[in-house]
Amino acid sequence: MLISLAPGVYELTARTAYGESSGMFTLSMKPHDMPDVELRNEGAIMPGEPLNGWYSGEPLNYQLEVTESSLVTLEMRSADFDTFIEISGQGVAASDDDGAGGTDSRLQEPLLPGTYTVSARGFSATGSGLFELSLEMEPTDIPPDL
Q: pLDDT by residue (tens digit) across 36-65?
A: 788 999 999 999 999 999 998 899 999 999
In this structure, is residue 146 part of a structural domain? no
DSSP 41-94: -SEE--TT--EEEEESSS-EEEEEEE-S-EEEEEEEE-SSS-EEEEEEETTEEE
Listed in sequence order, the residues at least 6 apart from 13 whose beta carbon sits closer than 8 Å to its beta carbon are: none
Residue 18 in domain: no
Question: SS3 of 21, please?
Answer: coil
pLDDT of residue 67: 96
In a domain, 117, yes or no: yes
| 63, part of any domain | yes
**Residue 103 covered by a domain:** yes
Predicted model pTM? 0.78
Q: Specify if 7 maps to a domain.
A: no
Q: Looking at residue 46, what is its pLDDT?
A: 96
pLDDT digits (tens, 9 = 90+) for 119-141: 999 998 778 889 999 999 999 99
Inside any domain, residue 35: no
CATH code for the domain in which residue 71 is found: 2.60.120.380
Which domain covers residue 106, as residue numbers? 43-139
* Count of the separate structural domains present in the chain: 1
User: Which residues fall within 8 angstroms of residue 47, CB to CB, at 6 or more apart?
Assistant: 135, 136, 137
Q: Is residue 107 part of a domain?
A: yes
| Residue 108 to residue 111: CA distance in whole angstroms | 9
DSSP lists the bridge partners of residue 11 as none
